[in-house]
Chains A and B, each alone.
Chain A
């Protein structure tokens, strides 16, 4: 199906009648301290007056919070003797459409599906939201300086698993849409009235800006490099702020806590970060990952090695958000290149010589 750019707003309006549509759009935020306003691109509930931008750079934050909110109620309770209760609070059954997500973000949703749907337990909250979401993915027409998805095995022009795939047509102000699932077919049926002529059209193809050299079996190599001095180097500069986990489309770790109002309250879960020291700290104070080095190593290993071992795929999709947003300029793509290139044995050897020389001096 072909839809002209001119009809895009109409398409979103039609879709918004039967579901809540989320689109990448600009929001203006007043920075009162700097006395200026900032334009930030994010997934917002569709309104007619929104400044929607499907193409251009990706959103600052990934759309993961629509499936896995920052804070989510698990159940309500009352702790009052005989009157005590625990009441499940599953998310509402509201159909949602995620319109215009990028191939990297689609791949991360597929990774989250593996986490929340497999390995013996299905997460009821995620499952409910996921069931009610229809995803329209769009192939990238331009990429950021920090985009390296194709080095991580993702094609920026296709999004397997999305219900509808959408690509810009070469030389025309229009998009080519095709359904990839039954949900997608049903969605496109709603837009039939807007269909444009489709003769000899060709979708635009884009390539990633940042090319990195990653060896195919980096996951196994890193498993052998747990004690390697590269971890001391890569941690330098990390301030443990957790921004990387906040903007990461595949970071799914969460905390569970409660909020009380008298004897009543609710149990909620919220995003957590493996970069924080209390993430693994136990009662009594023992901490298996006591310093930034262990924590950053765990994060990178989880993305590039542990997840492969458990779920058969890498957990970094190369979206580049952690690189673009790190206040200390830590760069996971640089780490991937360096660890791919390093000769584990030689490096340990030179490091230990240097350490020995240092002691002598």
Chain B
């Protein structure tokens, strides 16, 4: 994969820019989306789909998150509550000052995907990085073929980006949306079942199609197995990895898998590329 960051090397890559959260949206009981702007109302930087941002709550800590969307004058990150730092993020109100540095890492292969049908598969918060690419493809609709979007959440209330998943995307031309929940609930009349079995149930055809698969490790493992069973090649299945990161620039050491650093050489890898790396994922 190409490293596509937009580093200007005369700048200090470890120094965040002071930004402001201008909107907080409760997506699910444990996921919030933050809309982030510079203090003078501009976009902090222009990431490519799949790239990462180091988000810092001054005085608490910083961690790496995917950038789920961007507009003319903002970027958005969706963060799930999982630990001490993300607990603090979830206490934020609009107007909160935060530090942002990035964008980091490679990106989804938007050039290679041109002219292809794309199957997007997301599980849980894994839909966040996938969404950056879905939005990109919809904005450049003529460059891409048929779009299939398959998304699995625990239950109806845990579906992230409900407007996109349930209303906007199904209305897009030449786009099919498949939503499933792990458990049934009274307010859900859609499909119930896990993502890997739903992939096989729908029976996607591999011809002319690339797959983007993001979610928890177990879903990636079983989802990949389902895709291979349907005849997809490992080169055509693209996924993202997540490891603990501190610097974001391939120097602090911890996010390595073999000689590769997830923050710099990743987070986007094909299954074929992952096969080349030691089993420490």
Question: Could you list which residues of chain A lie within 8 angstroms of chain B, going by C-beta atoms?
Answer: 74-75, 77-79, 81, 84-86, 88, 90, 115-116, 119-125, 223, 226-227, 252-258, 260, 263, 265, 267, 269, 272, 274, 279-284, 286, 288-289, 294, 298, 301-302, 305-307, 309-310
Contacts and interface: CB of A to CB of B under 8 A. Distances in A.
Given A86-B99, A116-B251, A309 B259 contact: yes
Instruction: Sort A-B residue pairs by CB-CB distance and give the 6 closest, nearest first.
Output: A253-B253, A283-B83, A79-B58, A306-B259, A309-B259, A121-B249
A283 B63 contact: yes
A75 B252 contact: no
B59 A120 contact: no
B97 to A, nearest CB: 4
B151 to A, nearest CB: 21
A298 B256 contact: yes
A307 B250 contact: no
A226 B278 contact: yes
B42 interface: no
Given A74-B14, A121-B9, A282-B243, A84 B249 contact: no
Nearest to A85: B18
Contact of B259 (A86, A122, A272, A307): A307
Given A84-B97, A122-B9, A280-B243, A255 B278 contact: no
A82 B95 CA distance: 9
Contacts of B243: 280, 282, 288
Given A288-B280, A298-B280, A310-B259, A283 B249 contact: no
Interface residues of B, number: 49
Contacts of B280: 288-289, 294, 298
Contact of A283 (B3, B82, B264): B82
A124 B85 CA distance: 27
B258 A306 contact: yes
Given A84-B58, A269-B252, 16 more contacts: A74-B15, A75-B16, A86-B58, A86-B99, A120-B9, A122-B9, A124-B15, A223-B258, A227-B279, A253-B252, A254-B246, A267-B56, A272-B246, A284-B82, A306-B259, A309-B259
Contact of A123 (B5, B13, B254): B13
B221 interface: no
B82 A75 contact: no
29 contacts: A74-B14, A79-B58, A81-B97, A84-B58, A86-B18, A86-B58, A90-B12, A116-B251, A119-B250, A121-B249, A122-B9, A123-B14, A123-B249, A124-B12, A124-B13, A252-B251, A252-B253, A253-B252, A254-B252, A258-B61, A265-B59, A269-B252, A274-B253, A279-B254, A282-B244, A288-B280, A288-B281, A289-B280, A294-B280
Contacts of B257: 288
Contacts of B250: 119-121
Nearest to A81: B97
A173 to B, nearest CB: 44
B60 to A, nearest CB: 8
A121 B279 contact: no
B274 interface: no
A256 B252 contact: yes
From B12, B242, B246, name the one whose CB has the most chain A CB atoms within 10 angstroms: B12
Contacts of A79: 57-59, 97
The secondary structure that dominates the B interface is loop
A267 B256 CA distance: 23
Interface in B120-155: none
A45 B1 CA distance: 47
A298 B14 CA distance: 25
A227 B246 CA distance: 28
Given A85-B18, A86-B18, A280 B254 contact: yes
Contacts of B56: 267
Contacts of B60: 258
B59 A260 contact: yes
Contact of A120 (B63, B242, B249): B249
Contacts of B272: none
A263 B264 contact: no
A11 B4 CA distance: 50
B86 interface: yes
A248 to B, nearest CB: 12
Nearest to A262: B59
B62 interface: yes
Interface in B5-32: 5, 7, 9, 12-18
A197 B243 CA distance: 61
A49 B243 CA distance: 50
A267 B17 CA distance: 14
From B15, B16, B85, name the one whose CB has the most chain A CB atoms within 10 angstroms: B15
A203 B264 CA distance: 46
A194 B51 CA distance: 58
Interface in B38-61: 56-61
Contacts of B17: 86
Given A123-B13, A255-B246, A309-B259, A77 B254 contact: no
A54 B12 CA distance: 37
B238 interface: no
B251 A115 contact: yes
Given A75-B15, A81-B97, A272 B253 contact: yes
B247 interface: yes
A81 B92 CA distance: 12
A253 B245 CA distance: 12
A77 B281 contact: no
Given A226-B278, A256-B62, A263-B59, A121 B251 contact: yes
Nearest to B277: A226
